[in-house]
Amino acid sequence: MQEQWLQWNRKATWVLCVLTILGVLTALPIGADRWKEQNTSKHVEVVLNYRDLLRVAAYKTHPQQYVHDELAKVKAAGISSMAVFETSLTELSWAGHLSIYSSAGAMQLQGKPLKDDENYTYILFSTDKEEAIYRPIIEATFRVWDIPAASWEFDGSKGMILQTPMEDALLKSMEPDPGALQMIKDAGLNIVPRLSDRIPFNAEEVDKLMASYEEMGIDRILFDGDAVKGYGDNAELHSLNAFANILNKHGIGIVTIENSNPQKGLATLSNLTHYNVVRLLSLSDANANTMKPEEITDRFHLAAKDRSIRMFYINVSPVSKLAKSSIVDPMQNIYDTMQNKGGVLDKMHDLGLTVDRAQPFKYESPPAWHKPLKAVTALGAVAIIALLISMYIPGVAIPVFALGLIGSAGLYVVSKSVFEQGLALGAAISAPTLAVIWAIRRVRAHTIGNRRAVSGTVDNARTNDGSMRWIFTGLGAGRRFTMALTLFVVTSIISLSGIAFIVGLLNNITYQLVLEQFRGVSLLHLAPIALVAIYLFLYTGESVIGNIRKLLSMQITVLWVAIAAVLGVMALYYLSRTGNAGTASSAELVFRNVLENTFGVRPRTKEFLLSHPLFFLGLFLALRYRAAWVLFIVGTIGQLSMVDTFAHIHTPIPISLIRDVLGLVLGLIIGLVLIGVWQLGEGAWKRWAPRIAQTKQGSKSGA
């Protein structure tokens, strides 16, 4: 009965392999659709923060003239748009439209004593024209907050009294400054309004505002704060639906900001606007001041090429320079970044991108044929996970696959997103792990031999005296090289199959826009390494139980504790360097730029400089030296890294493919060099070791 079950299980294993291959094949047309979609946006937009420009102007001798002149320079530099926030009394005062006083300041201005028990805000408009434009906006804003407003005049200038402390009045947001909007429009620049959720939502007022934006040619808005407009009132007013309908009516899209938590309500609003969304990269005012033009250019270039960024947002600020005894700003640095030879304009042109208004990737609902293909891909993911488990628990392929199907069905009902991400993560872990296990088994078959079915002992595992065999003879260097090359290629192909499951299962545009993220990537970085190490130490000896007993019976020494500590630190460093949160030294950044400029696409350093070469060398050495098997663990890093490259779903598929292929080719070349160095060293050792031994022996005899 047991033998019959094992036969059925072996047949089931072949069926699971076939299902895995089918899953890979069905993912290909889904990936092709994503590839096509990623080529639909060819415009990038460079946006300057208008509020920051006003802050810089506040330190100039003639602020208003400075802003007027600077807008012309901005346009000439190739910056296409200005971001305009909801205005405030502070910003209107910066722009010179009005002056603000507290009760004490107003009384001092008029030469009157301070009124008893009064703490109001006084406003004086610069001209009658400013008063006609901004009084209605101010009155409407403070009416919403139930703050009374009254007229006030001083020395022939018209003004207002707001019955609230100045500190409170300065916090109230108002609709974007219409005077600023008109000035920017007259300068030939596009406008990107920044709206917040700080103003209570009023569908009628928002519709009027969006209609005015459409009339001005505005086609995209950016949100300010931690929530989209209408989020706070959504439970009561269903304001997100209303706002989305208004945006769709006027053809206005939205923006998501990279390297920040998605603003509350953004995912919902994106869906309701049919993903009329572009991704934005922000340059901080500190970086605008300190980074060189070529450094900023490289950052923008990589973001557009590797991360599908289509909008760049530049912040600026005035800085006090004691060494120069003056206040400086980064405006010329930004202009040089845009206009220098090899600057942003040139780099975007080289990528086939035009600096203009940002365009979203064209999104269409997935065609009907995606669904059955995706179902087969999901089936293949369950199959490859079952194959991995059966490597560690023989004879369970059938029940594990059945349980996987039941669990997947349950996950799909509970949460489609969790279902897709769970299977994608499981398959992404399984593929490189199975690939390296396959390589271990092939090396084992060519060295110590396969297990005997009856006795459970291992051929060629021990020497005649019963000690463990550490050196295997019988294969020449040439034969070992061709075998190592074949094993390296086949192992990599098996690992690359995991890519198909990420591409096929996580093809939703929400992942490309980073509105939804692929969870568990840290587990992908560690699990294959740990699983390969377990297999290597427990499943390549005489028996798993025997190996466990040996490990448990080992004496723990200070050396072992030190080794464990070092490995722990290495693991923490490895994790710190993974994902977008990883940091790099200045020297490494220079090296990365060299790679980028040389190949056009930067291969992953840990692949071509570390893991792939050592894996290739390890395969060559493992066919002769048992100790070299430990290099399979290092090799796992490169195999999983190739799959992890595609976990960055916002990166265009061709870029990820080129990155993986470059890593493999360069890794093979460096590995070939390492093998050559090893052979030379081994040859020299074989030649000189006997002479050294004879010399030592002669010295002892003479003594």
Residue 696 covered by a domain: no
Is the same domain home to 320 and 374? no
Is the same domain home to 29 and 166? no
Is the same domain home to 23 and 48? no
Domain boundary, last residue among 337, 355, 373: 355
pLDDT of residue 582: 46
pLDDT of residue 449: 77
**Which among 430, 506, 381 is positioned nearest to 31, based on CA atoms?**
506
Residue 523 covered by a domain: yes
Residue 700 covered by a domain: no
Report residues of the chain scoring pLDDT below 70. Answer: 1-2, 450-468, 542, 550-556, 558-561, 563-564, 566-589, 689, 691-703
> What tokens were used for 593?
């730029």
Is the same domain home to 149 and 57? no
CATH code (residue 48):
3.20.20.30
pLDDT of residue 555: 67
- The pTM for the full model equals 0.85
Residue 450 covered by a domain: yes
**Which among 220, 228, 282, 277 is positioned nearest to 49, based on CA atoms?**
282
Is the same domain home to 626 and 532? yes
Number of domains in the chain: 3
Q: Kindly report each contact of residues 159-163 with a partner whose C-beta sits within 8 Å and lies 24 or more positions away, as own/partner.
A: 159/98, 159/122, 159/123, 159/124, 159/125, 159/131, 160/122, 160/123, 160/135, 161/120, 161/121, 161/122, 161/123, 162/120, 162/121, 162/122, 162/123, 162/138, 163/120
pLDDT of residue 664: 96
Q: Which residues pair with 23 in a beta bridge?
A: none
What's the CA gap between 430 and 650, in Å, rounded?
Answer: 23
pLDDT of residue 642: 96
Is the same domain home to 13 and 104? no
**Separation in Å, CA 698 to CA 325, 685, 690, 701:** 79, 19, 12, 5
Residue 161: domain span:
87-174
Is the same domain home to 319 and 467? no
Residue 360 covered by a domain: no
pLDDT of residue 487: 97
Is the same domain home to 187 and 102? no
Is the same domain home to 315 and 185? yes
Domain boundary, last residue among 106, 139, 174: 174
What's the CA gap between 645 and 502, in Å, rounded?
Answer: 10
Domain boundary, last residue among 129, 150, 174: 174
Is the same domain home to 133 and 195? no
Residue 316 covered by a domain: yes
Is the same domain home to 616 and 488? yes
pLDDT of residue 257: 94
Residue 518 covered by a domain: yes
Contact indicator for 313, 281 with CB cutoff of 8 Å: yes
**Which among 667, 626, 625 is positioned nearest to 491, based on CA atoms?**
667
| Pairing between β-strand 121-125 and β-strand 98-102 as defined by DSSP bridges | antiparallel
Residue 105 covered by a domain: yes
Is the same domain home to 170 and 186? no
